[in-house]
Structure 1
Amino acid sequence: MSATISFSAQLINLFAALILLLAFAMLAQRRVMQLINLFAYQGLALCLSTLVVAVSTGQTHLYWSAGLTLLLKALLLPWILHRLVRRLQVKWDVESLINIPTTMLVGIGLVIVAFNVAHPISELSSTITRGTLAIALAVVMLAFLMMITRTKAIPQVVGFLAMENGLFLAATSATYGMPMVVELGIALDVLVGAIILGVFFFQIREQFDSLDIRHMERLKDN
């Protein structure tokens, strides 16, 4: 039994590490289509991690969580974003307020902070997923960094969705997930939010012929 749990914990840590690596890849990605693809891969890794936790612990509601994650994060939302990019005829590279090497160095610093902050909390946990709590916090911080360093609307939305991935991983790490009603509510909120943001993108494009949010800031200043 202990060997099975140990192997399951290793698999969970492997998928969590993959989610963190994909967060770094998204932070360094310059092209919007590849950024959306990386988000889809991160959703798939999150689904597999949740599925391993479900099999290892017998928490049946996590099977639904894994299915929702696969449907929403790995398939539906990337498909919606791809359609938005094609319809908006977005061909630009992802622009950043600071250069990529500096962003990556800041990201490494945030990961170090996340591991130091989460370590005392992980020591108090008795779940097999306690080792992924620090990674989940690091993913949230990297996603937030991506949001504040990007100048275009779509990469910022992808950063917000990636942050939600980190929060879901943290919930799975700490308490084996959230109640199903809460998860369904969050899934619906994220889906509706993505649709509303799609409409918002078209409105920005019509007004400014660009998705650069700095145009809105100049409008506010005027």
Structure 2
Amino acid sequence: MRYLEFTMKLLKTALATVVVTFCLQAAAANANTEIRLGHVGGPGSLFEISANRFAELANERLEGVAEVNVYGNSQLGGDESMMRRLRLGSLDLSLPSTVMSSESAQFALFEMPYLIEDREHMKRVREEIVRGPLYDAAEARGFKIIGVWENGFRQITNNKRPIVTPEDLAGIKLRVPGGTWRIDMFRSYGAAPSPMSLSEVFVALQTGAMDGQENPFIQNLLLALS
């Protein structure tokens, strides 16, 4: 299936956060402890690149004490599953994105369209809002944010038509990540949004179950090349 790539700057998911359970500090105190970091990003994604670099830097400092091992491409489950495992203590680190709005309504801020002007604007939001109220909101839910990484501006890829205005989404079966606000937003544009884990997207596009999907550009490209 041939997919046309059209850009629609909806929002910036620079809110790709690394969260850690409170039990990590105690676990890392034991020699040779494995610290597992899970994410849903596929090969070549910003999730993978960022997570691997984080592990590399962390392991330089943890040598002989603990080792961070990265499990990408949903090897440890989807975002929702990994958040549950974090809370239970069966996973140490996760790199979630939209799913955080399911943990605290304050994170729904990043599901709003046209919110971020550019990367300099995002830096200010990160320093003044994320590293403050949103850190506190995560901690109130039993998580601790230890870093904020970029996931890119969101794009729409589909096999129906160019997306120039919201009205162009009418009738398009669109894969979106989980998140009530985002689903409601696309539904208001006339699309038929369906929340779906990233690992299921390619098959859904290939079989025609979905007409398109909404993701950062690098994820769109990786799906097109799969």
Q: Normalising to structure 1: TM-score of the pair?
A: 0.26
Q: Looking at secondary structure, tell me which structure has more strand per residue.
A: 2
- Greater length-normalized contact order (CA 8 Å, ≥ 6 residues apart): 2
Q: Normalising to structure 2: TM-score of the pair?
A: 0.26
Q: Looking at secondary structure, tell me which structure has more helix per residue.
A: 1
